[in-house]
Structure 1
Amino acid sequence: MKRFPRFEEYKVVFYRILLAYVFYTIARLLFFFYNRNLIQIDGVTDIVSMCYHGLTFDTASILYLNLLFIVFSILPLRINHSKKYQGFLFYLYFILNLLGYATNYVDFIYYRFNFGRSTIAALDSLKHESNKSLLLINFLFHYWHVFVLFFVVSYAWIYLYKKVSLQNESSHKGITYFGTSVVSFLVIVTLIIGGIRGDFKKSTRPINLIDASRDVKNVSQADVVLNTPFALIRTLFSNNFKKMHFVDETTINTLVQPIKQYKNNPKSKPNVVIFILESNAKEYFGSFNKNTKIPNYKGYTPFVDSLAQHSLIFTNAYANGYKSIHAMSSVLAGIPSFKDAFTSSPYPKQKTESLVSTLKSEGYATSFFHGAPNGSMGFLGYANILGFDHYYGKNEYNNDDDFDGVWGIWDEPFFQYFNTTISKEKQPFMATLFSVTSHEPYQVPEKYKGKFPKGDVNIHQCIGYTDFALQQFFASAKKQPWFKNTIFVFVGDHGNTIFYDEYKKEMNKNVVAMMIYKPNSNLNGESTTYAQQIDLYPTILDLIGYEKPFRSWGRSLVGDKQIQPFVIRYSSNLYQFMSGNYSCTFDGNKVIGFYAKNDKDLKYNLIAKRNPEMNQIELKCKAYLQDYMARVMDKKLAEH
């Protein structure tokens, strides 16, 4: 029986593409192994299921990366069996595949910090870093085992590739060879289109990150189903801001009330000092965990815990994003980040009403401090957009003796610099400091080695050090004339390394410390109601008796009696809206789940048991997102 003229060629191409599937599955299993404490599974069957459903996303990535390789492999060229041509295909195959494949390995570690596969937004953040080489060296040093794994697996891939090769043939079989090549080429192109889309149905859109949640038991499993090249490629040219049309304006004005105006307090002009604390998750603070009933719980913030006794603390507070820059827009402008960071979208360069602009209109001097190289995290650019009077970074600090060698100036000396600088300001002033040290590489200054408990995970001693830096700041600030007339705000930017099982639950992964302190005031106690970063902007304006209307998607945590406490966030490729007795998950078009307030694992979907409160929560979620998208895209962030 005569074989199909190009059987041997296609067999080799198929083998080489099959190898990619094998190694993507290996990467998926390694990703799960590195992050097994964050991915909830019931057993081996869940792992098998995730690997199976992951094949759809692997197909798209593999076809994207191998499109040129496949085309050049199946072209009916007379030289395609030659040694030189096969050498060309070898380099084309591995340059593209290994570049894409390496991103999976980066996420073995990076997933612990953003709880999701890396998208193009991660690269947008990296381009602002002036010390990329130091960051790379630090990553290489601390996570050498990831690099070793990558090179070992890559070597195995190359070895297996070379095990099957084409034999050199001097000629092809005329019209039969070329005729069958045309037909097979069309068939292969059709299969590639279907593979990249995820199916052949004309009525469905190509698969996206959100589709990884379709066939999993727990939303955290979606990140195992995905692969990083897919997440990067799918977001490469995407703008995920889109208009939504669910409700009318009357519903928005009733349920969201995007224009707030408070008259709860007499007008005053206290100074405002905001500490946005890097990676300060609620988990690390003893004062925030008194009622969590975690066995053998340990906290690492003795100073903040002592200050909390005289402060108003929010023990159910959430970050409205998962990166540092997200916290900046959330806290200072009340603008959360969802699928895409607002600050890396096409829309941040517009006039924006914010805490900065409203306080400046009241005569406040404004400044922003961050001890990293100027421009790091995109803070400098966004500070300029918001209109800060002054930005103080590593450049202004101007003393590399206090540089940690990777990220920026150690917190303790930079906090003292912060105190010295703002003490020269004319009152009233608003000053924001974004801390640095509680970040990779989780080190403390040499002179403090051993002073702070190492704890159970890498970040614990850094949390203790930053707490100490705050103590030293307050010791100095108390001596200043501005101190007693100042509102101090403390908030974590996002979560970080998790130790306790309670904080591995989906709805607890990004809870942060949030606290307001004013010397000799009645601002004290513990609030267990929902709170979020975007609430701080309206809360501060309420506290100082700001009389004018202003745009805010958050609510005052000390005086809003009309908007029920709520939290909106984006996690595991879904919007999550929490209010009252339930939380809902929303895919951008429809609600796909309702969960009881205490079901932090999102185990029991109650969507089949809808009730009026659930319907109202869905309406709030849709109204909120509709107004958010419209105001951002129509550049109405400063309009009332």
Structure 2
Amino acid sequence: MDLLEVNSIMDFLPLCFYGLIFDTSAILYVNILFIALSILPVFKNTNQGFQKFLFYLYFGTNLLAYSTNFIDFIYYKFTFARTTIAFVSVLENETNKATLFWDFLLTYWHVWVLFLLFSALWIYLYKKVTVKGFVPTKKRYYFGFSTVGFMFIGLFTVLGIRGGQYEKKTQPINLMDANTHVKNIAHVDIVLNTPFALIRTLFSNHFSKPNFKDINPQVILKEVVPIKQYHNNPVTKPNVVIMILESFSREYMGTFNKNVKIPNYKSHVSFLDSLSQHSMIYTNAYANGRQSVHAMSSILAGIPSFKDAFTSSPYPKQKIESLVSVLEGQGYNTSFFHGAVNGSMGFLGFGKILGIDNYYGRTEFNDDSQFDGYWGIWDEPFLQYMKRTLDKKKTPFFATAFTLSSHEPFLLPEKYKNKFREGEMPIHKCVEYTDFALKRFFDEAKKEPWFSNTIFVFVADHCNKPYYDEYKKTVNRFAIPIMIYKPNSKLVGVDNDLAQQIDIYPTILDLIGYPKPFRSWGKSLFDKTSVEPFVINSTGSVYQFSKGNYICTFDGKKVLGFYDKEDKELKNNLIGKRNAEMNALELKCKAFIQDYMERVIDKRLATIQ
């Protein structure tokens, strides 16, 4: 509950009450067939054979749904959102599902023991109720009363699925409706339950054109500026290397927390802290998504993911203008390095869509003695392999590495178990190991001729379970580091403006002096005049749009709240004190969403129109 902090029991009880609405809906969804078969006006529904069938039907569906809540006891701390059907997109490309499953069973054995105990109690209580056999003597009355009962119960079942609002709703309640019952957006996940979240997203496609009445092409051009062009730097062709760091919350990095005033703060990245003294760092940066599958499209193509991953939607198979395509047009060789099983997370498939020349994974590494037993090759040997591969590349090259060792189940190579000790949280030792792996990479890379003419970008894919209270705040659950390093250059300093993953694509093109216009929802982090800094992301049910002095929460149809930019917990809703800046923020948020949906759905991700 430290991730969903509630101030008092009086705040918690209303959340539980409103949660009953969604619990009831989920229970009725799961049991709709059981209910129908139980109340059908037939004679055989009371005999032992039929009741035995109903027993297996009841527990087959209910225990499956019940187990998903226990899964979220574990999974929620990694995603900060109720699990939806989009979770399937995370697993569909993994070949080690069985290994991960058994590891989670062992690691979180207490969760599964609790599930089994409650399930056993449930079955015991069910069997305490017996249904006596019954054969009606007056069939006309039996069928008459049974039919009325069937219709009456059916009506209340539909009413329960709709959240008790039959006349006011044309559709059953969905995840968005939970937002109407909370003051703090994070508490939506207390009101919701996982079976409901899974069922209501099972057949949904959240990619649809909103068609806001106050948004037109002219408004989009002005507010979103979807076409960028920069003339700040001369045309050059340095190598570009992007390091996407698995689960590297901004919380772990000392130089990014100098002014945060966290009591007894401890950094876990001695190398990156040292390198940051010679880099440009962005201390107010955020991820555009919640999972690894969201990061690749955000960083390389400037395409964020909101409720669902763009790469798992029906729309990624189209021509996409991206950092990859633009740099290839400038004569760059492009590579992607990820030490997992080839195809994991869908990176290989999306890489092909973007046009990446070479993909290097566990197959190409070809030495399973360095396999961690779960996800892939340990970061240290794999980054050394990446360095040796880059040594053979013709310059200029563009390479992306996606690390993996700072990931559940948080293991270390045997030889480093005494070097990196358990910190306040299991992930801390793994973050320190990845930081060490990066140091080893740099120690070797700086010996090579290509190193001095290379722009290095460091960015996290998403955050992990926070330790400090500052990073438990709703907005800071997306807080990541962004750092740019070029050896012996003037790219040194601290920028406290808002920044996000989708800004990396235009920033690189600005730095290399790319002279042509290109499609980008992000902005160059060095552009301080044409587009004001902003950040957009989604909790899975609500958009969060930050710009200027305020944060706007938006459910896709209407504004839920405005908050002061310092109110990272989203506690004090200012919607009743609207001003001109808030109205402008709402307009920009809606314009962004509409242009995003239209370009994705209409397959205009490669056009500058």
- Report TM bin, short chain: over 0.9
Task: String of CA shifts for 1:495-546, please: whole Å, max 9, x gaps.
Answer: 0021000000111111011100000100011110000000000000000000
Query: Which 5+ residue runs of structure 2 have no aligned equivalent?
Result: none
Letter in 2 for 1:59: T
Q: Which residue of 2 aligns with 1:497?
A: 465
1:9-88 aligned at under 5 Å gives the runs: 36-88=1-53
Query: C-alpha separation between the residues in 1 aligned to 2:309 and 2:251?
Result: 25
Select which of 153, 166, 178 maps to 1:200.
166
CA deviation string 1:33-59 (max 9, x = no partner): xxx111121212233222211111112
Aligned to 1:608: 576
Establish whether residue 438 from structure 1 lines up as the match of residue 406 from structure 2.
Answer: yes
- Which has the higher mean CA deviation after the structures are superposed, 188-197 or 159-168? 188-197
Deviates more, 1:450-459 or 1:408-417: 450-459
**What is the aligned length?**
605
Give the equivalent residue in structure 2 for 1:348: 316
| Structure 1 partner of 2:116 | 151
- SS for the counterpart of 1:120 is coil
Among 504, 520, 529, the residue aligned to 1:536: 504
Q: How many angstroms does 1:492 deviate by? A: 0.5
Partners of 1:410 and 1:282 lie apart in 2 by 22
Distance 1:200 1:599 in 2: 37
Length-normalised TM-score, structure 1: 0.93
1:111 aligns with 2:76: yes
After TM superposition, list the pairs within 5 Å mapping 1:87-486 onto structure 2. Answer: 87-171=52-136, 173-198=138-163, 199-246=165-212, 247-486=215-454
Following the alignment from structure 1 to structure 2, what is the Cα–Cα distance between the partners of residues 516 and 204? 50
What residue identity is the alignment partner of 2:597?
M
* Distance in 2, Cα, partners of 1:336 & 1:611: 28
Once residues 564 and 636 of structure 1 are traced to their aligned partners in structure 2, the CA distance between those partners, rounded to angstroms, is 24
Structure 2 contact 162–169 (Cα < 8 Å) conserved? no
Amino acid at match of 1:586: F
The 1-side partners of 2:172 and 2:131 are apart by 35
Q: 2:308, 2:540 within 8 Å by CA — same for their partners in 1?
A: no
1:169 CA displacement: 2.8
Secondary structure class of the residue paired with 2:44 = coil
Q: Which amino acid aligns with 1:164?
A: V
The range that moved more, 503-512 or 180-189, is 180-189
Question: For residue 175 of structure 2, what is the amino acid of its counterpart?
Answer: L
Q: Deviations over 1:8-39 (max 9, x none)?
A: xxxxxxxxxxxxxxxxxxxxxxxxxxxx1111
Distance 2:540 2:222 in 1: 29
The separation in 1 between residues aligned to 2:277 and 2:137, in whole angstroms, is 85
Secondary structure of 1:273 counterpart: strand
Q: Which amino acid aligns with 2:309?
A: A
Q: TM-score, normalised by structure 2?
A: 0.98
- The Cα of 1:171 is off from its aligned counterpart by 4.3
Structure 1 residue ranges without an equivalent (≥5):
1-35
1:587 corresponding residue in structure 2 = 555
Verify the 8 A CA contact 2:306 2:540 in the aligned structure 1: no
Greater displacement, 52-61 / 354-363:
52-61
State the one-letter code of the partner of 2:27. I
**Bigger shift: 364-373 or 210-219?**
210-219
- Spell out the pairing of 1:502-541 with structure 2 (5 A cutoff): 502-541=470-509
How far 1:241 sits from its partner (Å)? 1.2
Displacement after TM superposition at 1:572 (Å): 5.8
Structure 1 Cα separation of the partners of residues 19 and 420 of structure 2: 43
**Letter of the 2:139 counterpart:** G
Alpha-carbon distance between aligned partners in 2 of 1:71 and 1:244, rounded to the nearest angstrom? 37
- Answer yes or no: is the 8 Å Cα contact 1:458–1:497 preserved in 2: no
Superposed CA RMSD: 1.1
The aligned residue for residue 566 of structure 1 is: 534
